[in-house]
Structure 1
Amino acid sequence: MLYGIAAAATALVLTALLAAVLRIPVRRLRLVERRRQREVPLSGGLAVVAVTGTVVGTGLWGADVSGAGGLLAAGGAVALLGLADDVWRLRRRVLAAGTAVAAACVVPYGETGVGPGLLAVVWAVGVTLAFRGLDHADGLAGTAGVVTAFGVAACAAVDVMDGIAGLMSVLAAALTGFLLHNWHPARVGLGSCGSMSAGFVIALALVHVRAGFGLGESAGVLFALTALASADAVLVLLARRLGGRSAGRGAGHLAHRLRRLGLTVPGITLLLGLAALSGVLVGVLAHAERVGSGALWWVAGGALVVVLALFRVPVHAADARYRRRSAPHCV
């Protein structure tokens, strides 16, 4: 308990400081993105990855990080892949393939079985790219990451998986430190390095937590905990397949459409953050067997209603203030 509090506080402070310190050198290296006609340095992702890896990897204060070492190493590999994407803008299929290889190395096949384990790899790739897609609006990816990581930490704590609970708590705290600079108007960005690694670690931690449970209910819990990112990805895919949008362009995310309805940027982040929190709460309660599987269907139904409703909102002339570098990180 004391380790968790100390580690989280340390991660929050160090991330906030490091993200600020790295702003100037990162800007000079041209590792930036365009937001609201401004260049935002992508020092946030580097800070989150570095601090999370250091605090958890060194096992400060004698912490038990068993079960988290493999996730941490694989997450570092995905962070490097994301950093390459920030620099060279890699194709989506390259990102998916690299993420799949990393996920395949840490899925607990002994508990899940080969078939469900391979499904977990596919799901982890989807969640990783979905979190990357959320990183298009000030504060959104960070807020979703904080809420989801705390939810996974709670699920791990229920099963006394201290290593994973500690990793998720530190990640959530690091993302909170990043949000101090990323709230609208953003002064630093997360980039693929931070968003992909966060989404990957969250997804695989969930797989470890739910390993050994029934496949159907586990799918419901996993979706509830990542409902925001999943709904956003589904909406974008629907828009591109049914709306004839180019696969590499467009502004069809939840935030873009809510912006078209007149909501402010901070208002959108708060609204979607509350939506993510609602799904996470249901997922945690379902994992702890405090609510039945019917609650999970309500989350899925609510997400479907939102996707279908916002799909009708036109975005072809979406506000340029919500675009970022021709939307290279959209799912």
Structure 2
Amino acid sequence: MSFPSFFRAAGWAALVVFAADCAQAQSLPLSAAQSQSLGLRFAPAAAAAELDATGNARVVLRPDAQYVVAAPYPGMVPRVLVALGQPVRAGQPLASFASPQLYEAVRALAEARSQATLAGQVLARDRSLHEDGIIAASRLQSSQARAGEAAAMVRAREAEMAAAGVAMAPRGGEAQLVAGRAGMIAEVNAVPGVRVDAAAPLFRIVDPTALELELLLGRDMPAPRGGERVEVRARGARGSVAGVVPAGDGTGAVRVRVVLEQRGDLQAGESVAATLRLRGAGGGAGSAEGGRVRVPAAALTYWQNRPGVFVQSKEGARFVPVTVESTDDATATVRGALPAGARVAVAGIAALKGMLGGGQ
């Protein structure tokens, strides 16, 4: 054999031996006596169908739970009739309102109603004359058209007043801003005697029971999917994930919108600890692609900057790398190719790492 051929053959042999040593370095043969002397103790790992992730959540009002009463025209608020935190019903007066444009709108509505009444009387008279054969059908049709136009003008003027949220008081004719829906006064910006511009927000009415959660999850947590469960156990609230969007701050975090099905004793504006129950993506202990497994927190260790656990085997123990998804004081939820019914070391791990590093 020539020298280059021998060199290549020797090189391949050395590479094979090195690869075999690397593969065996992950497995540590141990006798029962050695395991006892090292103080090894193993605990079972359980397949985790769900991952509990805890995060900080803000209690916020639903977008449809807020209603703003704004100034319909430039004007002034002579009197404020409600106070902050007061419950109100739909149509309840909130404040009196004075504005030249409002008075013009009221005058236009009164004129439209007067014209509609007159057009209705003319139509009734022409219909009677037509039945008696005194006038032609064309004249009756003209009266019907004018009555229809007058009625349409009344509806338009009434819609304008309704959209403005203005009602006239039964006595004295004072114009009043009214609540468009029932709820609680959450904000009062109207100051008696101060002029306001058109569309200036004067009152904010909210439904204090229409709450949802806004949960922020860091980049190290798995992204939730729609419909996954969320609980605030200490406050008796629960709900489900309705939407997930990136936080937009460059950190890789995500914002999770949670619709509450049971709000417990939550109040808008407070921060609470919420538990997100992430469903497993299939697999489990023994899954080829590595399922989600829950192990004791003491079993989790690091070797060569990689997290993993020592799994009990027939020969002794072997190191299995894992991906950590969640940890707390008692347990760690990991993903890795652990065999079915795996038992992981929870004591004597330092000795196993020493042996794995060749320090036996």
User: Into which bin does the TM-score normalised by the smaller protein fall?
Assistant: under 0.3
Determine which structure has the larger strand proportion and give its number.
Answer: 2
TM-score of the superposition, structure 2-length normalised? 0.19
TM-score of the superposition, structure 1-length normalised? 0.20
